[in-house]
């Protein structure tokens, strides 16, 4: 059954269908309608869950950490400085290996204040140990939210589902509602091997010494470094888990996206534009325009950003003559993070395409399709002849 609703409502329905048991809520634009909708579901009795309003985003994630540690399926959502306020707890949730799911409705961060969209908030948290998935439309929002709970449970690592503020969160689009019975078939109940239980008292996440040591049962236990190694290994393993979950979802619901990236007109492309989020759909319009000029350009939208699916990205990009990366975030003092990681992944390849980087849409700055066409045309025309100092460009800048 198709309905027309906002992206925030799509996410809320996904959480409801996933049978989340604890919702921690603190308002921040533009995610607030998501948790408000969940409160309506719970108040009406159509969703059985504990709804816990808190005094800050830091507390919201603390509630999820406590709930997940006690064996409940937990969810929260945030944006911008709210996500930054969670920073300490983001590390804790990943280090404690808790399968929490959080929707990040992307928004620029202060100072100065902005309520408009870019990706600086979630990109700045890339090294906290969370899986990060970026989506392009409302169907992907609801489907990916459901998949995120399965992925998180499979590897015991928390997942962020990131989607563009206002562009997706508040716009209305048609999307198909997954059947509850099929979701239950896809997503088994959360039954952790280890959780807090009054009948079986235990200490979790106490001070860990640098070296391995004997635990209370006389068994050799991991030290801090081993625990970090295992998190890294499981994050890398989750690349395959994401693909397996995607395959399973397609088998049940007969739809889905590529697990790592979405390609458009890339089979014969000499040049490939790369981005994340809804921008990849806008780039398709620019690519169609350039195709009419005889320039063979394609688009790849990166869905899985952390862990970084380097092998899939190299396979998709290595045969191109050039890669042009468009980003709504920047690693201050260097370049866009997505671009630097793509360049790093391509570095050891036998054939290395040139890589150009454009920063755009910061703080919600309007992205004109004609500007995308001009930037793509310029990069495709100049190619490797472009001076390295000119490979980072800004679109829409008024200075």
Which pLDDT score is estimated for 384? Answer: 66
Backbone angles phi, psi at 355, to 5 degrees: -125, 120
The band of 220, judged by pLDDT with boundaries at 50, 70 and 90, is: confident
Instruction: Map tokens 């540690």 to a residue.
Output: 69
pLDDT of residue 386: 61
User: Going from the N-terminus, what domains does the chain have, and what CATH number goes with each?
Assistant: 2-186 (3.40.50.970), 261-394 (3.40.50.920)
Average pLDDT score, the chain:
94
> Quick check: 389 pLDDT over 50?
no
Question: Using CB atoms within 10 A of its CB, is residue 332 exposed (0-12), middle (13-18) or buried (19+)?
Answer: exposed
Question: Going along the chain, which residue ranges are E strands?
Answer: 2-6, 22-25, 50-53, 74-78, 101-106, 131-134, 159-164, 172-176, 213-214, 220-221, 261-264, 271-276, 297-302, 304-306, 322-327, 354-359, 392-394
Whether pLDDT at 185 is above 50: yes
Share of the chain above pLDDT 70, in %: 98
Query: What is the band of 388 on the pLDDT scale with cuts at 50, 70, 90?
Result: very low
Contact 27, 56 (CB under 8 A): no
Helix (H) or strand (E) holding 334: none
Confidence of residue 210 (pLDDT cuts 50, 70, 90): confident
Rounded to two decimals, the pTM is: 0.95
Name beta bridge partners: 298. Answer: 272
What confidence tier does 248 reach under pLDDT thresholds 50, 70, 90?
Answer: very high
Task: Render the burial of 371-392: b for 16+ CB within 10 Å, e for the rest.
Answer: ebbebbbbbbeeeeebeeeebb
3-state secondary structure at position 66: helix
CA angle 387, 392, 398 (to 5 degrees): 120
């Amino acid at each position: 059954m198709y309905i027309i609703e906002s992206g925030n409502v799509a996410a809320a329905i996904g959480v409801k269908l996933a049978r989340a048991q604890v919702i921690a809520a603190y308002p921040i634009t533009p995610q607030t309608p998501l948790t408000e909708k969940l409160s309506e579901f719970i108040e009406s009795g159509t969703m059985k869950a504990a709804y816990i309003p808190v005094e800050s985003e830091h507390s919201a994630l603390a509630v999820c950490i406590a709930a997940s540690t006690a064996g409940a399926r937990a969810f929260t959502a945030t944006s911008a400085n709210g996500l930054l306020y969670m920073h300490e707890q983001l590390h804790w949730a990943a280090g404690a290996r808790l399968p929490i799911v959080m929707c990040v409705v992307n928004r620029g961060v202060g100072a100065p204040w902005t309520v408009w969209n870019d990706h600086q908030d979630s990109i700045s948290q890339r090294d906290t140990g969370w899986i990060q998935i970026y989506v392009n439309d409302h169907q992907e929002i609801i489907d990916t939210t459901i998949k995120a709970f399965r992925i998180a449970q499979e590897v015991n690592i928390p997942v962020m589902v990131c989607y563009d503020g206002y562009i997706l969160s508040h716009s209305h689009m048609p999307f198909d509602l997954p059947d509850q019975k099929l979701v239950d078939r896809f997503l088994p109940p959360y039954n952790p091997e280890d959780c807090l239980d009054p009948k079986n008292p235990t200490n979790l996440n106490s001070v860990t010494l640098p070296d391995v040591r004997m635990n209370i049962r006389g068994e050799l236990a991991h030290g801090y470094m081993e625990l970090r190694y295992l998190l890294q290994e499981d994050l890398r393993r989750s690349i395959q888990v994401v693909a397996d979950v995607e395959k399973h979802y397609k088998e049940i619901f007969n739809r889905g996206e590529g697990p790592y990236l979405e390609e458009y007109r890339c089979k014969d492309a000499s040049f490939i534009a790369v981005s994340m989020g809804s921008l990849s759909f806008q780039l398709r319009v620019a690519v169609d325009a350039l195709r009419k000029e005889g320039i063979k350009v394609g688009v790849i939208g990166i869905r899985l950003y952390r862990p970084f699916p380097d092998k899939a990205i190299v396979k998709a990009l290595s045969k191109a003559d050039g890669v042009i990366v468009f980003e709504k975030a920047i690693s201050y003092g260097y370049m866009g993070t997505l671009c630097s990681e793509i360049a790093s992944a391509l570095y050891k390849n036998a054939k290395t395409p040139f890589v150009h980087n454009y920063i755009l849409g910061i703080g919600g700055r309007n992205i004109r399709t004609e500007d995308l066409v001009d930037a793509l045309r310029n990069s495709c025309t100049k190619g490797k002849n472009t001076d390295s100092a000119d490979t980072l460009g800004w679109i829409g800048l008024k200075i």
